[in-house]
Amino acid sequence: MTELETRPLGKSKVRVSSLGLGTVPLSGFNADVSYDEFEATILAGYAAGIRYFDCAPMYGFGKSEHYLGHALRANKLRENVVVSTKVGRVLKPASRTKKLETVYGIEWIDPLPFLDTYDYTYDGVMRAFEDSQHRLGLDYIDVLLVHDVGRAWHGDQSEFYWNQLRASGYKALDELRSTGAVSAIGLGVNETESVVGVAREFSIDCSLIAGRYTLLNHAPLEAAFDELLQRNVSVIAGGIFNSGILATGVSGPAATYDYGKVPAAVVEKVKAIESVCLRYAVSLPAAAMQFVYAHPAVATLVMGAKSAFEVDQNVKAINETIPTAFWDALTEANLLPSNAPLPTAAR
């Protein structure tokens, strides 16, 4: 069993391993995954030292929670791990619910017979939390994240849902945390601005932010991550491969950038990064992972995987030896900003 570093989530008592395992790829995202495959991947993660597992009602419309909860119970792992799930969506029977049109247009393969509806009110948060407890089969949930609140997901409807959260959703979150039903609360989003905005008006412990801080995206360095550090709000970093391009490189047969076609400018930048990787014998995934984890605001990296092999690759990447000269070369080539926190020594 591998020992992975742990860090606290903000002001809470929750500590998470440097790697977390996200269940999106295990829930029918571009692949049909059986329960046996799901369980084997969870067990491989646990054997590799991963102690943080993330799921959500949206993932497979309940499948990720059903499968994860059963795998943890059946293998008697619950007391040794941290589990996060999300609120903001309530699942309803697919036969009587209109399908949402979403910005990413995800089509789950073989999902459970439900569809998601948005609800950030007090009642919606409480119902979503209790439904998640039932699907997971757990009497408490360590980390509860408000899912996809903000303009990046809701566009022109974002203010409507913000108002729901402000009017009564915060109250529900505060009650769940203060009564010990959950230990840490935060957001699960694809943008940084909403996290800063919430942190200014309500006390959160953490946020899962997908794809906004990577080898290719450095905008949070301008001010956002500094403010989150000052407020003791930990970042759970997701999407650090920008949906694929930083895992496969430009020659990958299915390389994507933020779930779409890779822009020409991104292709050129990744080629330049790969050139430096080749010079220093560093793998691109290792560089992508270790760069993000080096930021002091980041508590853990949530990495999706759909097999034991992919789990093993992620663990090897976070532990790969990278010389400090490699980071210096990226900075000198203007591929990283000069104010980016970097790993301080070769591993």
Is 148 among the catalytic positions? no
Which residue from 137, 116, 6, 146 is spatially nearest to 72, judged by alpha carbons? 137
Please check whether residue 66 is in contact with residue 112, taking contact to mean a CB–CB distance below 8 angstroms: yes
Q: Does residue 59 have an active-site annotation?
A: yes
How many other C-beta atoms lie within 10 A of the C-beta of residue 75? 12
CA distance 189 to 238: 9
In this structure, are strands 89-93 and 206-210 parallel, antiparallel, or unpaired? unpaired
Q: Which of 46, 52, 59, 67 is catalytic?
A: 59
Active site residue: 46, 63, 67, 86, which one? 86
Cα 173 off chain centre by: 20
Assess whether 280 carries a catalytic annotation: no
CB burial readout 266-301, b (16+ within 10 A) else e? beebbeebbebbeeeebbbbbbbbbbbbebebbbbb
What is the rounded CA–CA span in Å between residue 298 and residue 304?
17
Q: Which of 46, 52, 54, 67 is catalytic?
A: 54
**Which residues neighbour 40 within 8 Å (Cβ) at sequence distance 6 or greater?**
307, 308
Beta strand spans in the chain (E): 6-8, 15-17, 19-22, 52-54, 82-87, 89-93, 114-118, 141-147, 182-189, 206-210, 234-238, 298-304
CB-based contacts of 210: which residues, under 8 Å, 6+ apart? 188, 189, 190, 238, 239
**In the Cβ-directed half-sphere of 161, how many Cα atoms lie within 13 Å?**
24
CB 231 within 8 A of CB 199: yes
CB atoms within 10 A of CB 32: 9
User: What residues act catalytically?
Assistant: 54, 59, 86
